[in-house]
């Protein structure tokens, strides 16, 4: 079978959760998927230990991968990580803005620090990534940027006010960037996962009562796996979606169709 | 309708999604891309500056038809070169 990202270079933020034999996050699952599909993978994260380990496990399986530390809220770290990618692999074709944090508080219990931190990681992170990666993609005639948003961008989520707001920012940022960069052959889309079984949700969905309540709102009656979200990222990252830009792909088992 | 049916059949593992193509080079849209004036007028409104090839729509259908989209149901996939993002 043809590899769907053959010769491509992929940079993923929040990609450290990709270890063998462990519950994977979207970033880690996509790092594995991209490597399997022939890409050279640049895993970035603030978790250096697991990021390094995920990259070396991918290398051991015969693909190209490296780790670069990246706090997505810092311009200088973005520029350094992109240089690492260019030095190692010479180009950059796919950016997945996946890094995320949660602050599970309603509006009155959200501190200003939490609000600013959550918006910084999601919204500023996607903005800085796009800002610094676009010129690099332009050099080789284009690329694909996949911004991980959430179904929380489309409906209210009072138990995670800052998170929902930040994901909404990613949703609208994606469209502005898509229009601006379309002429350069750079596609920009947002992906909106529903509830998934990942390290990110272990705390909240680990509570059987919460899990039961969530599942009752999902027509498919189960959580997504990280791999199912990674497959959707792969579609948007690959040439198979060559006319898709500024679009929203909802991966939620039917949650929002109701 | 896709959403209604998606909810109804989700528990039977039947997924239902809708695909929303923009301007595409198909026989149905022949006058819209054979007439240079019309084509220039339409493509000026599309961020990607061109129509879709029918294969590009087919690729999206393949994605939704295959197990790659196993958690996607009741969703809308827009394939329009950025037209509706504006």
pLDDT digits (tens, 9 = 90+) for A102-140: 999 999 999 999 999 999 999 999 999 999 999 999 999
Tokens 């590899």 belong to residue:
A3
| Inter-chain touch B10–A219, beta carbons under 8 Å | yes
Rounded to 5°, angle at Cα B12 from B10 and B13: 65
A–B CB contacts, 8 A cutoff, strictly below: 126
Q: How far is A75 from chain B (nearest CA, A)?
A: 27
Interchain contact, B77 vs A249, CB within 8 Å: yes
Written as one string, the DSSP assignment of B68-83 is GGTT--S-EEEESTTG
Q: pLDDT at residue A1 above 80?
A: no
Token duo for residue A53: 């380990």
Torsion, CA A78, CA A80, CA A82, CA A84, rounded to 10:
-150
For A148, half-sphere exposure in the C-beta direction (CA atoms, 13 angstrom radius) is 28
Structure tokens at A245: 């830009």
In chain B, the percentage of residues whose pLDDT exceeds 90 is 92
Q: Which is it for the CA torsion A205, A106, A96, A75, positive or negative?
A: negative
Q: Is residue A219's pLDDT more than 90?
A: yes
Interchain proximity B49–A183, CB inside 8 Å: yes
Choose from B29, B85, B86 for mutation: most chain A CBs within 10 A.
B85
Q: In whole angstroms, what is the distance from residue A245 CA to residue A188 CA?
A: 5
Q: Provide the token pair at B84.
A: 């509706």
pLDDT per residue over A153-209, tens digit each? Answer: 999 999 999 999 999 999 999 999 999 999 999 999 999 999 999 999 988 898 999
Contact criterion met (CB below 8 Å) for B4 and A213? no
Question: Which residue in the set A178, A219, A246 is minimally distant from B73, CB to CB?
Answer: A219
pLDDT attached to residue A2? 83
Gap between the Cα atoms of A179 and A159, Å rounded: 33
pLDDT at A204: 87
pLDDT at A118: 98
CB contact under 8 A, B82 and A242: no
Confidence of residue B31 (pLDDT cuts 50, 70, 90): confident
Work out the minimum CA distance from B29 to partner chain A, whole angstroms. 17
Give the up-direction half-sphere exposure of residue A42: CA atoms within 13 A in the CB hemisphere: 27
H helices present in B10-53, as ranges: 30-34, 36-43
From the list B4, B53, B85, the residue facing A179 with the nearest CB is: B85
Contacts of A250 in chain B (CB under 8 A): 72, 74-76
Query: What pLDDT is recorded for position B33?
Result: 86
Best probe of the A interface among B43, B61, B68, B72, by most A CBs < 10 A, is B72
- Select the residue from A197, A254, A256, A258 to test the B interface by mutation, using most B Cβ atoms within 10 A: A254
Cβ B84 vs Cβ B22: under 8 Å: yes
Cα of B45 to nearest chain A Cα, Å = 11
Give the Cα separation of A53 and A75 in Å (integer). Answer: 25
**Cβ-nearest to A258 among B7, B63, B78:** B7
Beta bridge partners of A250: A192
Tokens of A65: 């991968």
Average pLDDT over residues B31-59: 95
Residue B63 to chain A, least CA–CA distance (Å)? 7
Diameter over CA atoms, chain A? 53
ipTM for the predicted complex: 0.93
DSSP B85: G
% pLDDT > 70, chain A: 100
3-state secondary structure chain A: CCCCCCCCEEEECCCCCCCCCCCCCHHHHHHHHHHHCCCEEEEEECCHHHHHHHHHHHHHCCCCEEEEECCCCCHHHHHHHHHHHHHHHCCCCEEEECCCCCCCCCHHHCCHHHHHHHHHHHHHHHHHHHHHHHHHHHHCCCEEEEEECCHHHCCCCHHHHHHHHHHHHHHHHHHHHHHHHHHHCEEEEEEEECCEECHHHHHHHCCHHHHHHHHHCCCCCCCEEHHHHHHHHHHHHCHHHCCCCCCEEEECCCHHHC
Nearest CA in chain A to B54: A243
Which of A182, A244, A253 has its CB closest to that of B73? Answer: A253
Residue A257 and residue B6: Cβ atoms within 8 Å? yes
Residue A163 annotated to the active site: yes
Q: Which residues of A touch B52 (CB under 8 A)?
A: 243
pLDDT confidence of residue A203:
87
């Amino acid at each position: 079978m043809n590899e769907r990202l053959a010769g491509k270079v992929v940079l993923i933020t929040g990609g450290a959760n990709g270890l063998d034999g462990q519950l994977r996050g979207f970033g880690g699952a996509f790092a594995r998927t991209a490597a399997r599909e022939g890409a050279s993978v640049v895993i970035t994260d603030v978790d250096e230990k697991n990021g390094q380990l995920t990259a070396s496990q991918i290398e051991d399986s015969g693909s190209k991968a490296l780790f670069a530390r990246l706090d997505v809220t810092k311009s200088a770290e973005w520029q350094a990580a992109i240089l690492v990618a260019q030095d190692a692999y010479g180009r950059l074709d796919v950016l997945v803005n996946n890094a995320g944090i949660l602050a599970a508080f309603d509006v009155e219990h959200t501190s200003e620090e939490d609000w600013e931190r959550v918006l910084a990681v999601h919204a500023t992170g996607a903005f800085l990534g796009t800002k610094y990666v676009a010129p690099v993609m332009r050099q080789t005639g284009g690329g694909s940027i996949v911004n991980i948003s959430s179904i929380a961008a489309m409906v209210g989520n009072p138990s995670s006010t800052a998170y929902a707001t930040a994901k909404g920012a990613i949703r609208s940022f994606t469209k502005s960037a898509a229009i601006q960069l379309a002429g350069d052959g750079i596609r920009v889309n947002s992906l909106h996962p529903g509830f998934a079984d990942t390290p990110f949700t272990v705390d909240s969905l680990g509570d059987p009562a919460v899990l039961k309540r969530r599942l009752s709102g999902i027509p498919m009656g189960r959580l997504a796996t990280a791999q199912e979200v990674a497959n959707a990222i792969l579609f948007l990252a690959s040439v198979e979606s060559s006319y898709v830009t500024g679009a929203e792909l909802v991966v939620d088992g039917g949650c929002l169709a109701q | 309708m896709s959403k209604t049916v998606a909810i109804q059949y989700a528990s039977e593992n039947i997924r239902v999604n809708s695909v929303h193509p923009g301007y595409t080079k198909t026989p149905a849209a022949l006058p819209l891309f054979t007439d240079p004036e019309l084509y220039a007028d339409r493509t000026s409104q599309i961020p990607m500056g061109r129509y879709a090839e029918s294969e590009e729509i087919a690729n999206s259908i393949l994605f939704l038809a295959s197990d790659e989209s196993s958690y996607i149901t009741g969703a809308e996939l827009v394939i329009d070169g950025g037209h509706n993002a504006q």
